[in-house]
Amino acid sequence: MTTSASVPAGSDAAISGGTVTDRLVEANARYAADFADPGMDARPVLRVAVVACMDARLDLHAALGLNLGDCHTIRNAGGVVTDDVIRSLTVSQRKLGTRSVVLIHHTGCGMETLTEDFRTELETEVGQRPVWAVESFRDVDQDVRQSIQRVRTSPFLAHTDDVRGFVFDVKTGGLREIDPA
């Protein structure tokens, strides 16, 4: 799939006249020239928040049949439920009306190749140990279960009855639901 701001792999020289950020700003200028305010509210139409990995291979709106304004999307490395994800979900639910949570991890995730030793490596390199956990995992299904449990047991979330977790297959584009038990 190619988008207006995409750059073929290994083509740093193909970015004429500047950086990737310059290219993105140029793409935004073209977008803004034809932009019409859709008059939407910040509240998602489908009252759902999707938590997913930041992996560039996941086009969540296309994969889930979503349109602009349908959902809140929260992404991070691994799609794991961290304190910051709970913070975002809490705002999403308590101030912006979401009621459902969909968690999406994926096959071939880079977080499966890391360990907490990454923090030690960073400490050695920069002289300061990160306060955050890497949240790496070896078993994607088990990590989805853990993420479901973190959402369901958070005292800050008002709506935990519709929380479902999935693994997105990066080769087929399909979702596989994970049984939380």
CA–CA dist 56, 151 (Å, integer): 24
Give the β-pairing of 48-53 and 100-106.
parallel
What DSSP string describes 95-126? Answer: HH---EEEEEEETT-GGGS--THHHHHHHHHH
pLDDT value of position 52: 98
Q: What are the 10-residue block averages of pLDDT along the chain, 181 residues in total?
A: 49 65 96 92 96 97 97 97 98 98 97 94 96 95 98 98 98 97 84
Cα 165 vs. chain centroid, distance in angstroms? Answer: 13
CA–CA dist 131, 119 (Å, integer): 9
Residue 164's beta-bridge partner residues? 102
Q: What is the pTM of this model?
A: 0.87
CA–CA dist 11, 126 (Å, integer): 30
CA–CA dist 99, 104 (Å, integer): 17
In the DSSP assignment, the letter for residue 71 is: E
pLDDT value of position 2: 44
